[in-house]
Structure 1
């Protein structure tokens, strides 16, 4: 599960704000029994390993809390304690300092605010805290209703004051740790929202920090100019939502993330209980009109996975009215775990990984391959005749086959790149990567692709003494005459491997035929002619006891182009036609794309079916989920034939994606475990091919 090694925490002072959900704990005035019992509840919950507390005014209660934390650490029930000074700053009891707090333009006010936080630091060290969190204070420019150059000048001065304050606090943290013989706490500046409150409301914090770009520049200055390398940011999802900042903000701030709050917000002033939920009030995750939906949270969590975030993730929730804090926390965990376990969250390209074919298949190897084509053309047949074949097509009754026949029918596009598969260096390199670094059963292709792999297998054996084509299934593609975009595209003649006898002689293990039916259509007579070609091909394969893989597809013309119809009823009709071709279907395998209601499709043919993955979507998540579903839709669904969706899976490693699909087909792993496997093996064995 994604983020399963990150500490999970709870903000005590908001989760348990006081009896009846009043604010006594936030004010530091919580009754002894309430404070101790609620902290104990967090400690006893095995999922929470981190707790955030704020000021406690009573010395006797503080001492009990200290003892409680010591016992919890000794019992390994608590791994982290965070002191949150933000409630002290925001409540600003008796208006001790200006709301601009430690970024105040008034030096006297700034110094008072720093002194108050130093008192909090002393208390935090008494608890044995690991982190100390605070916030910037209100933006003086917003407070003064300044605009334009005046606002820019005020913010510039306020940022200078804030830098000075943070430097003093970091110094004090280190000094006090040294005096007490304790590890220094990590300073965390929480980034709040900077949204201006509507007249007559106090829903938003109007903080100086503030926008992500401003926070990024600020933390850089503290680390690089002052040398406080441990200084980091605390990011709260509710503040991101209020400020309109999405997952990309987390990625941009990834080098500076020290602590994450998962929190909700309601931004509809007419929502139920809006007085207690609107704005920066951290309502329960299931509150009406919530901005933190499952999809939104999944987006933030995916960003954290992709930036390899290792820190704490804590819930900040404030129950209202008759809501039971313990129930709210339990529901929050369930919501978070469900989002964390989503396949789109678990599939992530960590640290901006990009697969590069040249790191696997080098230019020197390409040159050697080209040289062999010129100097030893007969080597291809020799190697094919020497190749060891499987005794059985499929030892376990299942198959994963790589498809590499698209370019021969003038289909070379991948996504927006119209000729991606036309680059033979790239295409062959990716095919070789899948064949060598995954356990796919074999490959289906035209002669040129298969022969390139045969020569590559020879070069590999020359260097390593091993080969990768023995006991793999090699399937010959026969009809490629239906050129994409041609007027008579539906007449798909046998133009590739034309002679089944030759297929058998070359020790290939089967043949593939494509049958597209556009009925009714002005050119549907060509579909019937292709049916005859396919029927003859199946008959010839039967003569030599070769399995034939038939791909029957319903298509229709849209804007002059034939497009696949991905509907169960249409697939069922064309399967019925395909199954009736030739004098026997004994050796027939069907290749059928996955669609909704696939169980109905599977019932259209009693023989084995391989699912098709379709075009590349830039991410393998969708096709993995489809294949998991499809494998459960009928015992005759026996695997998949994969092409562009595996060879070009966005920036990912084709071999890792192929291996994940092998695992789900041959071993029945779940979609989540399949994407975890991708992350685990991505980029492995990049040096398999010989190098000079």
Structure 2
């Protein structure tokens, strides 16, 4: 299986690069939000930012064929609506025929590499709105980190606002993932997950662009989620985040937050693709059951 997948993808990419566009054109599409009014998306845009670690394994996501295998399992499970990824990952899945009837969200700004001096200058180095529209995908996701001490935040705000406007111009959903940033004593940029910080980040994110008609939020589960989500009327998806602690505690927190009126589903990556027992299907099924 592994060798055949690798051979198929590398041969197709080397000899027939036009196959990507052809597969996108053939792809069976579906409404962004189905009859249930809920969404379950699997995220796989982490490697494009060099974020390969999972549960203490520094290069867990580095094996691309293994990542694809885990994604294929997740996408095959009942109740999984689609996937969020960077062009390389989504195009592999297109060539494998795994995106028919799925919601597909293109990840847009992957330039803010963690730990670098330019981390907050989060450039749009992956999809843009025109490419997402041309591929027949359904939405674009962007990360917005606001750092009071870094002037690069202004450029990221401007770029995200432009992306929201351009996606809306195509009638496509803009999925904005906002964070307020604080600095540790050694100068590292870390996300401030206190309720007040998230309320401030959400308030800024929902005002980006010429219209908010097509804007959704992608937010982490933090303390006092009721108060955080009261800051907006926009539909929101919960961010699964980096896996830590017991899975049962994570699922309980998701379950509670999913009951809030503006929360419409989950976007989860590493927590489901690399569970402690490596049973991807069981982890995905548990998350789906919460919806």
- Residue by residue over 1:132-159, the C-alpha shift from the partner in whole angstroms, topping out at 9 and shown as x without a partner, is xxxxxxxxxxxxxxxxxxxxxxxxxxxx
CA distance in 1, matches of 2:139, 2:123: 18
Kindly state the Cα deviation for residue 566 of structure 1 after the two structures are TM-superposed: 1.5
Kindly state the Cα deviation for residue 617 of structure 1 after the two structures are TM-superposed: 2.6
SS in 2 for 1:652: coil
- 2:2–2:65 Cα contact (<8 Å) kept: no
CA distance in 2, matches of 1:434, 1:489: 30
Asked whether 1:469 is paired with 2:110, we answer no
Task: Pick one of 104, 127, 138 that aligns with 1:509.
Answer: 138
Asked whether 1:578 is paired with 2:218, we answer no
Alignment of 1:422-437 (within 5 A): 422-437=62-77
Once superposed, what is the RMSD of the aligned Cα atoms? 1.5
CA distance in 1, matches of 2:221, 2:34: 21
Q: Report the equivalent of 1:407.
A: 47
CA distance in 2, matches of 1:370, 1:646: 27
- Residue by residue over 1:53-106, the C-alpha shift from the partner in whole angstroms, topping out at 9 and shown as x without a partner, is xxxxxxxxxxxxxxxxxxxxxxxxxxxxxxxxxxxxxxxxxxxxxxxxxxxxxx
Alignment of 1:499-538 (within 5 A): 500-519=129-148, 521=149, 523=150, 525-538=151-164
Asked whether 1:452 is paired with 2:92, we answer yes
Distance 1:431 1:548, change over 3 A: same
Alignment of 1:539-578 (within 5 A): 539-558=165-184, 559-578=186-205
- Residue by residue over 1:96-117, the C-alpha shift from the partner in whole angstroms, topping out at 9 and shown as x without a partner, is xxxxxxxxxxxxxxxxxxxxxx
CA distance in 2, matches of 1:450, 1:482: 20
CA distance in 1, matches of 2:183, 2:80: 34
Q: Which runs of 5+ in 2 are unaligned?
A: none
Kindly state the Cα deviation for residue 397 of structure 1 after the two structures are TM-superposed: 1.6
Higher helix share: 1
Kindly state the Cα deviation for residue 658 of structure 1 after the two structures are TM-superposed: 1.2
Q: Report the equivalent of 1:483.
A: 113
Task: Pick one of 244, 255, 266 that aligns with 1:640.
Answer: 266
Kindly state the Cα deviation for residue 433 of structure 1 after the two structures are TM-superposed: 1.4
Asked whether 1:381 is paired with 2:29, we answer no
Q: Report the equivalent of 1:601.
A: 228
- Residue by residue over 1:429-460, the C-alpha shift from the partner in whole angstroms, topping out at 9 and shown as x without a partner, is 11111112343110010000001111122xxx
Kindly state the Cα deviation for residue 516 of structure 1 after the two structures are TM-superposed: 0.6
Kindly state the Cα deviation for residue 390 of structure 1 after the two structures are TM-superposed: 0.9
Distance 1:527 1:469, change over 3 A: same
CA distance in 1, matches of 2:245, 2:273: 11
- 2:32–2:138 Cα contact (<8 Å) kept: no
- 2:29–2:101 Cα contact (<8 Å) kept: yes
CA distance in 1, matches of 2:190, 2:96: 35
Kindly state the Cα deviation for residue 504 of structure 1 after the two structures are TM-superposed: 0.9
Alignment of 1:98-113 (within 5 A): none
- 1:568–1:596 Cα contact (<8 Å) kept: yes
SS in 2 for 1:583: coil
Kindly state the Cα deviation for residue 394 of structure 1 after the two structures are TM-superposed: 3.0
Q: Report the equivalent of 2:251.
A: 624
Q: Which structure has the larger Rg over C-alpha atoms? A: 1
- Residue by residue over 1:485-515, the C-alpha shift from the partner in whole angstroms, topping out at 9 and shown as x without a partner, is 11021011111012x1221121101100100
Q: Which runs of 5+ in 1 are unaligned?
A: 1-360, 458-467, 666-692
Kindly state the Cα deviation for residue 655 of structure 1 after the two structures are TM-superposed: 2.2
Q: Report the equivalent of 1:494.
A: 124
SS in 1 for 2:217: strand
CA distance in 2, matches of 1:422, 1:601: 35
Kindly state the Cα deviation for residue 619 of structure 1 after the two structures are TM-superposed: 4.7
Task: Pick one of 265, 287, 290 that aligns with 1:661.
Answer: 287
| TM-score, normalised via structure 2 length | 0.95
SS in 2 for 1:655: helix
| TM-score, normalised via structure 1 length | 0.41
CA distance in 2, matches of 1:547, 1:392: 8
- 1:590–1:610 Cα contact (<8 Å) kept: yes
Q: Which has the higher contact order (CA 8 A, sep 6+)?
A: 2
CA distance in 1, matches of 2:75, 2:191: 28
